[in-house]
Amino acid sequence: MSTDTLSPTIHLIDDDQAVRESLALLIGTVGLRVQPWSDPQLFLTQFDREAIGAIVLDVRMPGISGLSVLDTLMAQGVDQPVIMLTGHGTVAICRRAFKAGAAEFLEKPVNDEALLEALQNGVRQHVRSRQRHQADRAVRERFAQLSEREREVLGLIAEGLTNKEIGRALGLSPRTVETHRANLFAKLQAPSLAQLIRHYAALVDAGDSGTA
């Protein structure tokens, strides 16, 4: 993950200019970069979905509501955490926002500490999530380079079979099994047996193990 990607951007969507300016100043005090938006439709078409950061979204705006924007973001698979703000909060709206995928729901006037804490927690979680996804993708790419026989050996290793048992199951000599085993550690860049099995378990969970 590049340094630019890890430089978080907070997208601030609110039709009230005074609110945008005051919140941008507040968020900037903790070193987070702010991109203000007055038009939610423009935001939906132009914001960088691949960047690290978070989204601060007002519920009540002319033209399109913040809840509708939230629905669109979730439908598009956007993974930046969304913090909803409202000056007209009700239990029903709060429940609706959380059900739709909001990370936090805060009422105006916003408590400064609560907003900053929500943003910093959201950004940290987003960074960790992206790093996990990148690591998982790297494992899948390395797994794709394995031969069919290496995948079979890997599956049996994950089941706890010894080299001799794997050899009997696949009709291979112990030396050949050991060669496949060494190739698996090298190709999957696994420093230990536990890590090798962890990689395999992640692939199985994702449906990418390629085994019957």
Amino acid at 5: T
Please state the rounded mean pLDDT for residues 39-44: 96
Please state the rounded mean pLDDT for residues 165-184: 94
Please state the rounded mean pLDDT for residues 139-160: 91
Domain ranges (residues) in the chain: 9-136, 144-205
Q: Which two tokens stand for residue 146?
A: 């394995």
Residue with tokens 């909001």: 102
Q: How are beta strands 82-86 and 104-107 bridged, if at all?
A: parallel
Residue with tokens 């979730």: 74
Which pLDDT score is estimated for 138?
Answer: 82
Please state the rounded mean pLDDT for residues 74-85: 96
Q: Do domains 9-136 and 144-205 have the same CATH topology?
A: no
Q: Residues 126-138: pLDDT tens digits?
A: 999 888 887 778 8
- Is the pLDDT reported for residue 139 higher than 90? no
- Is the pLDDT reported for residue 200 higher than 50? yes
Please state the rounded mean pLDDT for residues 29-37: 96
- Is the pLDDT reported for residue 112 higher than 80? yes
The lowest-confidence range among 54-68, 74-88, 129-143, 180-194 is 129-143
- Is the pLDDT reported for residue 6 higher than 80? no
Q: Give the CA distances from residue 147 to residues 25, 55, 82, 208, in Å, rounded to whole numbers and listed in that order.
A: 55, 43, 42, 14
Which pLDDT score is estimated for 203?
Answer: 80
pLDDT band at 159 (very low <50, low <70, confident <90, very high): very high
Taking alpha carbons only, the member of 98, 80, 82 closest to residue 90 is 98
Taking alpha carbons only, the member of 116, 187, 200, 121 closest to residue 157 is 200
Q: Which fold has domain 144-205?
A: Arc Repressor Mutant, subunit A (1.10.10)
Is the Cβ–Cβ distance between 155 and 209 less than 8 Å?
yes
Q: Which two tokens stand for residue 42?
A: 């423009």
3-state secondary structure 35-91: EEECCHHHHHHHCCCCCCEEEEEECCCCCCCHHHHHHHHHHCCCCCCEEEEECCCCH
Amino acid at 54: A
Which pLDDT score is estimated for 194?
Answer: 92
* Distance separating alpha carbons of residues 26 and 24, to the nearest angstrom: 5
**Options 3.20.20.140, 3.90.420.10, 3.90.950.10, 3.40.50.2300; which CATH number does 9-136 get?**
3.40.50.2300
Please state the rounded mean pLDDT for residues 196-212: 71
Q: What is the DSSP code string of 106-122?
A: EESSPPHHHHHHHHHHH
DSSP state of 173: -
Which pLDDT score is estimated for 58?
Answer: 97
Which pLDDT score is estimated for 206?
Answer: 61
- Is the pLDDT reported for residue 174 higher than 80? yes
- Is the pLDDT reported for residue 153 higher than 50? yes
